[in-house]
Amino acid sequence: MKFSFARIPLIYFGAGSVSLLPKAIGQFGNTCLIVTGASSLRTSGRLERIHALLREAGIHYEIISVSGEPTPNAVDAAVIEFRSKGIGAVVAIGGGSAIDAGKAISAMLPSGDSVIDYLEGIGTKQHPGEKVPFIAVPTTGGTGSEATKNAVLSKSGKGGFKRSLRHDNFVPNVALIDPELAMGVPFEVTAATGLDALTQLIEAYVSTAANPMADALALSGLEKIKQSFIPLCTGAGDELVHRTSMAYAALMSGIALANAGLGVVHGIAPALGSIFGLTHGVACGTLLGASVKVTVQKLMERGEESHLQKFARIGALFTGCDVRETSRACERLVFLLEEWVELLKMPRLSKFGIRESDFDEILSQSSNKNNPASLSKDEMRCILAQRL
Question: Tens digit of pLDDT for each residue in 290-332?
Answer: 999 999 999 999 999 999 999 999 999 999 999 999 999 999 9
Residues 380, 287 share a domain: yes
- Point out the residues of the chain with pLDDT beneath 50: none
- Distance CA(226)–CA(232), nearest Å, equals 11
The CATH number given to whatever domain includes residue 192 is 1.20.1090.10
Q: Which of 205, 194, 159, 165 is nearest to 74 (CA)?
A: 165
- Amino acid 289: pLDDT: 98
Instruction: Please indicate, yes or no, if residue 4 is contained in any of the structural domains.
Output: no
pLDDT at 40: 65
Q: Do 341 and 216 fall into the same domain?
A: yes
Report if residue 86 sits inside a domain: yes
Q: Has this prediction a pTM greater than 0.85?
A: yes
Both 206 and 237 in one domain: the answer is: yes
5 occurs within a structural domain: no
Same domain membership, residue 278 and residue 202: yes
Range of the domain at 70: 10-182
Residues 154 and 39 in one domain: yes
Is 112 in the same domain as 200? no
Given 182, 199, 214, which residue is the final one in a domain?
A: 182
Q: What is the pLDDT of residue 188?
A: 95
pLDDT, position 246: 97
Q: Is the residue at 2 inside a domain?
A: no
**What are the b/e assignments for 217-249, b being 16+ CB within 10 Å?**
bbbebbbbbbbbbbebbeeeeebeebbbbbbbb
For residue 68, what pLDDT is reported?
83
Do 352 and 236 lie in one domain? The reply is yes
- Shared domain check, 32 and 91: yes
- The domain total for the chain is 2
Among 136, 161, 182, residue at a domain's last position: 182
